[in-house]
Amino acid sequence: TLDPLLIRAARGEETERTPVWMMRQAGRHIKEYRDLCKKWPTFRQRSEIPEVAVEVSLQPWRNYKTDGCILFSDILTPLPGMGVEFDIDDKVGPVVTPMRDWDAVNKMHLIDPSAAAPFTGEALRILREEVGPETAVLGFVGCPYTLATYLVEGKTSKEYLEIKKMAFTEPDLLHAILKNLADSIGEYALFQIESGAQLIQIFDSWAGHLSARDYDTFAAPYQKMILDKIKEKYPEVPTVIYIKHSGALIERMAGTGVDVVSLDWTVDMAEGRERIDAGRAAAGIEGPGGVQGNLDPGLLFGSQETIKERTEEILRKAGSKGHVMNLGHGIEAATSEENAKFFIDTVRNFRH
């Protein structure tokens, strides 16, 4: 039997059509999800009770027939398994006790994923059974630099001054945090694959705030540790990287050896493909890399005529091989389900 369409496309194989899913497809834009929140009021309940996480993950797949079904979870979910507690406040977002000295860092330990996040494994196993062989079950992890921003800042930040201060005054301390995170996140990614994830997307959301030199020092090497760990053990499982505001970093992202670079909406798709190829070539990596994205999520607030025109323009520019259609960032909570479905249908109906 053939692997799911999305997996074949992510590997760069010829496919009968371009696959599609949406970042953040499970969640607030869907009425069923908002109703479910009344019964399960906290994010951690919704993401850490397997049957609830499964139901939330399945909603967009059932409603829109997306080619990928991504596990409903959070990049912070594995942190308690490393000795770092967190909470998610509905107003503020994630809250962590700030980690700013060696004492705090030395309390971190390597994760044992099946003990720390058994619900992740359970949810992935159930999803594989529920969606059947045509649909890809997608796992994901946060990258060390982005996770470190939460650990060092203590919450979401606008300017990231605490982590930058650490980078420029105590780089060894930051590198120790990043290395601990990379070791554990690599294990957590393997655990997701062993539980049924057929692709892993790595998110380094806040690495787009770094200068090129600091990206090469504090972000890329730790992304690569995770990617290398996956490639070494499961070379057939495709990997995707996404960074918000990453227009300046595309060549560097491609140079990590990741299979697919997910572009944000600020980059022209045709130029993005050229830059991914250039980044791979400069790093001595064979073959063209895959691409994911990159419709502006704001376009889903436009007319259906505009959604169709812009979606098909991206599909044409990306070409028929090695493209997974997606948004250039997560779907906005206020998006209508009708327009979300129209976007998915547009891609499913398009032929090169």
H-state helical runs in 234-336: 250-254, 269-282, 304-318
Closest C-alpha among 204, 225, 102 to residue 160: 204
Torsion angle of alpha carbons 32, 36, 41, 46, nearest 10°? -90
Q: According to the model, what pLDDT value does residue 90 have? A: 79
Q: According to the model, what pLDDT value does residue 157 have? A: 85
Closest C-alpha among 15, 75, 61 to residue 201: 75
What's the CA gap between 70 and 63, in Å, rounded?
A: 14
56 in Cβ contact with 123 (< 8 Å): no
Q: According to the model, what pLDDT value does residue 289 have? A: 96
Instruction: Write out residues in the chain with pLDDT < 50, as ranges.
Output: none
Q: According to the model, what pLDDT value does residue 227 have? A: 98
Tokens of 314: 């991206």
Closest C-alpha among 331, 313, 321, 248 to residue 291: 321
- H or E element at residue 290: strand 290-292
113 in Cβ contact with 124 (< 8 Å): no
Q: According to the model, what pLDDT value does residue 98 have? A: 94
pTM of the model: 0.98
Closest C-alpha among 270, 275, 260 to residue 314: 270
Q: According to the model, what pLDDT value does residue 158 have? A: 85
Tokens of 289: 């890399």
Tokens of 206: 């806040």
69 in Cβ contact with 56 (< 8 Å): no
Distance of CA 53 to the CA centre of its chain: 17
Closest C-alpha among 215, 270, 271 to residue 243: 215
DSSP state of 301: G
| Number of other CB atoms surrounding residue 177 within 10 Å | 24
What is the CB-side half-sphere exposure of residue 53 using CA atoms within 13 A?
A: 25
What's the CA gap between 39 and 49, in Å, rounded?
A: 12
